[in-house]
Amino acid sequence: MKLLRRSTLVLAAAAALASPLAMAQANGKLKVGFMLPYTGTYAALGNAIEQGFRLYIDEQGGKLAGREIEYFKVDDESSPPKATDNVNKLIKRDQVDVLIGTVHSGVAMAMAKAAQSSNTLLIVPNGGANAITGPMCAPNIFRSSFSNWQPAYAMGEAAAKKKHKTAVTITWKYAAGNESVEGFREAFEKGGGKVIKDLTVPFPNVEFQALLTEIAALKPDMVYTFFAGGGAVKFVKDYAAAGLKDSIPLYGAGFLTDGTLKAQGDTADGLLTALHYADSLGTKRDNAFRLSYAKTYKQQPDVYAVQGYDAAQMLAIGLQAVKGDVSKKAEFAAALEKATVDSPRGSFTLSKAHNPVQDFYLRQVTQGENKVVGIASKALKDPARGCKM
């Protein structure tokens, strides 16, 4: 009895000693590290992600789970060779509590590796590299966006349903382009189509002329493409200027026309793409988000803004569960694994590998907007090949 009382006392004393420390951490600022492209072909995407993220935090009064948010920023330039040094600026120098990044698949994979070895929380607000929620999946890594397989597979199914028989693919030669083409091929060929040629240019080149001439000579039923940001603007314009727009239908993962329509003008009219967001969802949740974003930034949001906003929502859900204590990684993950995220895109859940299970809309460019014309794939779940979690 005495022994028991004494050990209880010792425990209580230890808790009293530990709690001021724990409280200091819980009440101190939460350090968020943005690693995003602020220059180069993906600069607009990085900015939209940051704006979306900040919007949600501002809507919560600048705090999550009682902790004020302090931001740190690194421009990753969409450069894989610089990625490890860049992410270590945030992990080692700034000692951030959570990493938010990035856009480029190759850079995002380097971030995932560094996050895993340092056990830092990482929420990927774009980079679709299949490996991040595949062989590299980890309890502290989450994605608010998509896997490269997802929109491509949805578009492949839709293209096969249209009875196209032959396709040529054209993309940047790096993980995102390669995986997008593979996802398209998997669904298109399962549906009875055949990819007759894969064309690539190195990232971030935009010299398309020779390849467009080749497409004209090959005369496929359709073309499938993955390009995004500045490169997508140039590709859509060049495709129209080459006289291909009216003869060979162009389909893409929806990044082709997201955040790019103003610059593409009428060269994008009529393009059909698949993506987990569109400009005309018309739901209460999306209307409120769009209004708030437009008021704050004097700009219309796009898929990247939504992914940034939802990365902040996911952080909020995890932090709430651990009362602001990011060291409780298992509880943080458990909360997200059972959550439904109330996204402007429509609510979604996370797969075991921590990738969104979500609807893919079929969108058509009409009057400068990506209008929903159907659902390409409902509650589409990445196969998470190679994830052992």
Residue from 103, 187, 317, 353 that binds ligand PHB (CB under 6 A)? 103
128 lines the binding site for ligand PHB (CB under 6 A): yes
Q: Coil, strand or helix: which one is 250?
A: strand
| Residues 23-60: b if buried by 16+ CB within 10 A, e if exposed | eeebeeebbbbbbbbbebbbbbbbbbbbbbbbbbbeee
176 lines the binding site for ligand PHB (CB under 6 A): yes
Peptide bond into 204 cis (omega under 30): yes
Q: Which stretch binds ligand PHB (CB under 6 A): 9-17, 87-95, 99-107, 194-202?
A: 99-107
274 lines the binding site for ligand PHB (CB under 6 A): no
Instruction: Provide, for the chain, the percentages of residues in helix, strand and coil under a 3-state DSSP scheme, each rounded to the nearest 5.
Output: 45, 20, 30
261 lines the binding site for ligand PHB (CB under 6 A): no
Q: In this structure, what are the phi and psi dihedrals at residue 258, rounded to the nearest 5 degrees?
A: -105, 125
Distance between CA atoms of residues 16 and 11, nearest Å: 9
Of 148 and 343, the one with the shorter C-beta distance to ligand PHB is 148
Of 153 and 332, the one with the shorter C-beta distance to ligand PHB is 153
65 lines the binding site for ligand PHB (CB under 6 A): no
Q: What x-and-dash track marks residues 282-321 binding ligand PHB by CB under 6 A?
A: ----------------------------------------
Residues 6+ apart with CB under 8 A from 369: 261, 279, 280
User: Are the beta carbons of 259 and 302 closer than 8 angstroms?
Assistant: yes
Count of alpha carbons within 13 Å of 224, Cβ hemisphere only? 37
How far is CA 318 from its chain centroid? 18
Of 308 and 324, the one with the shorter C-beta distance to ligand PHB is 308
Distance between CA atoms of residues 148 and 219, nearest Å: 27
Residue from 33, 80, 127, 356 that binds ligand PHB (CB under 6 A)? 127
Min CB(124)–ligand PHB separation in Å: 9
Q: Which stretch binds ligand PHB (CB under 6 A): 97-105, 217-225, 242-250, 332-340?
A: 97-105
Of 228 and 306, the one with the shorter C-beta distance to ligand PHB is 228
Q: Which stretch binds ligand PHB (CB under 6 A): 14-22, 123-131, 325-333, 365-373?
A: 123-131
Peptide bond into 102 cis (omega under 30): yes
Residue from 53, 56, 153, 255 that binds ligand PHB (CB under 6 A)? 255
Q: Radius of gyration (Cα) for the chain, nearest Å?
A: 22
User: Are the beta carbons of 367 and 277 closer than 8 angstroms?
Assistant: no
Distance between CA atoms of residues 361 and 373, nearest Å: 8
Q: What x-and-dash track marks residues 197-216 binding ligand PHB by CB under 6 A?
A: --------------------
Maximum CA pair distance of the chain? 91
105 lines the binding site for ligand PHB (CB under 6 A): yes
38 lines the binding site for ligand PHB (CB under 6 A): no
How many residues bind ligand PHB, per CB under 6 A?
A: 11
* Beta strand ranges found along the chain (DSSP E): 30-36, 63-64, 67-75, 98-100, 121-124, 141-143, 166-172, 194-201, 222-226, 250-253, 272-275, 349-350, 356-366, 369-380
Of 255 and 361, the one with the shorter C-beta distance to ligand PHB is 255
363 lines the binding site for ligand PHB (CB under 6 A): no
Of 128 and 308, the one with the shorter C-beta distance to ligand PHB is 128
277 lines the binding site for ligand PHB (CB under 6 A): no
Of 115 and 129, the one with the shorter C-beta distance to ligand PHB is 129
Of 220 and 356, the one with the shorter C-beta distance to ligand PHB is 356
Q: Which stretch binds ligand PHB (CB under 6 A): 122-130, 186-194, 267-275, 361-369?
A: 122-130
236 lines the binding site for ligand PHB (CB under 6 A): no
Residue from 222, 228, 274, 387 that binds ligand PHB (CB under 6 A)? 228
Binding interface with ligand PHB (CB under 6 A) = 103-105, 126-129, 148, 176, 228, 255
